Structure 1
Amino acid sequence: MRRKLQQRRCTPEQVEETLGRLRDLGYLDDLAFARALVARRSRSRGPALIAQELGAKGIPRALVQEALSTLGRDEQVASATVVGGRERGGDPQRTAARLQRRGFSREVIREALDGQLDQG
């Protein structure tokens, strides 16, 4: 937000005043934003990709880690199973590579693929 205001040629005083007002109104809460994004994205992406996205948005690493700490392992495995299951009957190596690109850890991928093999 600071960058956007500076790009619009606001004075430093205007920037600080605007940011202060937005904070007071609860519109600038990085942790709440990060938690909401984690909740939305965790259905189709793993923690690594979500962390990368939050970092690109300027969220501090400590807040990213705190927001990601809400993701349980079972939830990650379930999401990876759903994402990987879209290629039913496909090559497990291709599925694993796809899940890795989506930000899931090797352990979660292995668990998700093992679950698919047990079902199939």
Structure 2
Amino acid sequence: MARTSQERGGSSESRASREPPLDPEEQARALCLRLLTGTPRTRRQLADAMRKREIPEEVAEHVLERFQDVGLIDDQAFANAWVESRHRGRGLARRALARELRHRGVAAELVTEAVELLDPEQEEQTARELVRRRLPGTRGLDRDKRLRRLAGMLARKGYSEGLALRVVRDALTEEGQAEEEYGAEQNSSWR
């Protein structure tokens, strides 16, 4: 015979009501710690999360200051790591990285410092690598269509139009020269 919740020691409601509710500061700390456990967050992201939970603004500000003082929140470190990770992993250029950081609430001066860590030569090299990987998938299309598709891919990743067009044209030229050399080798072997 099944026992009722009263017979097992009370309902879950009565147990929850016996525990005092967390005060707003404890709620704010718990929320921030939970959010920071999964992934680094910016100060604004944490503030937005607390606002959604209706934690009073002065309490939220106090908790954020304390977390920043002890180093649990560091928007500059977040921005630097974001630039490194997203450039290496997704091939994003400075412009796209800056847009993402601003969207996450990183201050403009911190965004500038973070994207300046990415030197122009490294950015161009990444663009060349992205085009090199995508180039085979465009074979069979006419040159102009290939140029538009590859330059468009770079533009969506935040590369300037000038850099994108130069890198794609270079890759197409190199591919054409390689094909000519291969064709010449094949012709000479038939003789």
Q: TM-score, normalised by structure 1?
A: 0.87
Matches of 2:163 and 2:86 in 1, distance apart?
16
Name the count of aligned residue pairs. 120
Extract structure 1 runs of 4+ deviating beyond 6 A.
none
> For residues 115 and 81 of structure 2, what CA distance do their matches in structure 1 show?
10
1:4-19 alignment, distance < 5 Å: 4-19=49-64
Q: Residue 37 in 1 paired to residue 92 in 2?
A: no
Whether the 8 Å CA contact 1:48–1:104 is kept in 2: the answer is: yes
Which protein shows a greater Rg?
2
Residue 13 of structure 1 deviates from its aligned partner by 3.4
- Quick check: 8-17 or 62-71, which moved more? 8-17
Q: Which runs of 5+ in 1 are unaligned?
A: none
Correspondence 1:59 to 2:106: yes
> C-alpha separation between the residues in 2 aligned to 1:83 and 1:97?
12
Contact 1:22 1:28 in 2 (8 A): yes
Q: Which has the higher contact order (CA 8 A, sep 6+)?
A: 1
User: Per the alignment, in what secondary structure is the counterpart of residue 105 of structure 2?
Assistant: coil
- Residue type matched to 2:130 in 1? V
CA RMSD of aligned residues (A): 1.8
Counterparts of 1:1-120 in structure 2, within 5 Å, are 1-43=46-88, 44-89=91-136, 90=138, 91-117=146-172, 119-120=174-175
State whether residues 73 and 108 of structure 1, in contact with CA within 8 Å, keep that contact through their aligned partners in structure 2.
Answer: no
* Unaligned stretches of 5+ residues in structure 2: 1-45, 139-145, 176-191
C-alpha contact 2:80 2:114 (8 A) present in aligned 1:
yes
1:36-59 deviation digits (Å, cap 9, x = unpaired): 000011121111111111111011
SS in 2 for 1:103: coil
1:74 is displaced (CA, Å) by 1.0
Task: Give the equivalent residue in structure 1 for 2:37.
Answer: none
Q: Give how far 1:98 is off.
A: 1.0
